Every structure is written in C-alpha cells, then in structure tokens.
Amino acid sequence: MSPNKRDISELTPAARGYLAGFFDADGGLQVWEEDGYPRIRVAVTQATPEVLYRFQAAFGGSVFRDKDYMYRWHRGGYEFVKQFNDELGPHLLVKKERVNAELAQFARKSARVRK
C-alpha cells in the first residue's frame, strides 16, 4: 500500500484514542485557498517527531521539520480529512465541533467553486 493510501479502519480503538488525544492537544485542520480552489489538510505539531511517525504509519502523509524547528505531520485532501474525522472524531473531546464545522464550511466552499 502506498504511504498515502492507508486503511484507517484497521486502527484499534486504543490507537484511535491515543492519536485523537494528540490531535486534540496539538493538531488541527488547515483550510486555505490556492489558485482559486479551497484546500484542506490535517496537521499535528510536536517538539519531537516520535508521535508524528505514528500518525504517518497510521495515515500516510509527511513528517518534516518546519522553520521554527518544530516537527509537523500533515496529510491533505477532503476525502482523507472526512475519513480521518470518521475514525478519530468520536474520540475527540476538545476539537470535535470545530472539525465538523470546518469540514462543513470547506464542503460549501468546494461546492461553490465547482458550479
């Protein structure tokens, strides 16, 4: 399976809870426009990369060091972000409502662009 084609549904409930906790604390959705099209991705930032490699193993995506010397994992695409939310969303305690609202807003923006 390619690095960006993981089967998220194979995560154990414990792994979902663990990763959801890190996402709640240090992750979020990033939404922006590029060349007139809305873009979306999931990202988690940490001072060390170990946990981010767990995200990468589970979901694909990229781990890199940013200009502030923090490590970041991210993966984009609306379909992936929806699947990520379907799997981890039930375990989110802090960011559940915000993630759902941002996904809905992104879907509305995307629908306007396609018309």
- Can you give the pLDDT at residue 9? 66
Residue type, 12: T
- Can you give the pLDDT at residue 2? 41
- Can you give the pLDDT at residue 52? 97
- Can you give the pLDDT at residue 3? 44
Domains in the chain, start-ordered, CATH in brackets?
9-108 (3.10.28.10)
Mean pLDDT by runs of 10 across the 115 residues of the chain is: 55 93 96 91 96 95 94 96 94 94 90 70
For residues 56 and 67, give the distance between their C-alpha atoms in angstroms, rounded to a whole number: 20
User: Is-contact 6 56, C-beta < 8 A?
Assistant: no
